[in-house]
């Protein structure tokens, strides 16, 4: 085992974690896990991006509301209420 770690320049603890994660899996299962992990990461990034967009829109609405009169404020709040969900 030490030879394998030395050959691929990885630590023993990294090797042990890899063994723990993938033991009992077939090659196709390990590949599928990798695909799912990549997809999960992509979706997490997409979600973070959308949450940032929503926050920017909320900030814009708040800024507009402070600059406009009460009548326009109510109109904007009613029409953009979905942003605050």
- Give buried/exposed letters for 8-40 (b at 16+ CB in 10 A, else e): eeeeeeeeeeeeeeeeeeeeeeeeeeeeeeeee
Please, what are the averages of pLDDT over each run of 10 residues along the chain (85 residues)? Answer: 85 89 89 95 97 92 72 69 59
Tally of domains within the chain: 1
**How many CA atoms lie less than 13 Å away from 25 in the CB half-sphere?**
14
The domain in which residue 20 lies consists of 2-84
Q: Report how far residue 40's alpha carbon sits from residue 19's, in angstroms, rounded to the nearest whole number.
A: 22
| Ramachandran angles phi, psi of 79, nearest 5° | -75, -25
Residue 54: per-residue pLDDT: 94
Q: pTM of the prediction?
A: 0.59
């Amino acid at each position: 085992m030490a030879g394998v770690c030395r050959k691929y320049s990885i630590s023993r603890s990294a090797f042990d974690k890899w063994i723990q994660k993938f033991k009992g899996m077939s090659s196709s299962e390990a590949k599928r896990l990798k695909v799912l992990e990549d997809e999960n990461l992509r979706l997490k990034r997409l979600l973070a991006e959308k949450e940032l967009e929503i926050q920017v829109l909320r900030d814009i609405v708040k800024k507009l509301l402070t600059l406009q009169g009460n009548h326009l404020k109510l109109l904007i709040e009613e029409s953009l209420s979905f942003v605050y969900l």
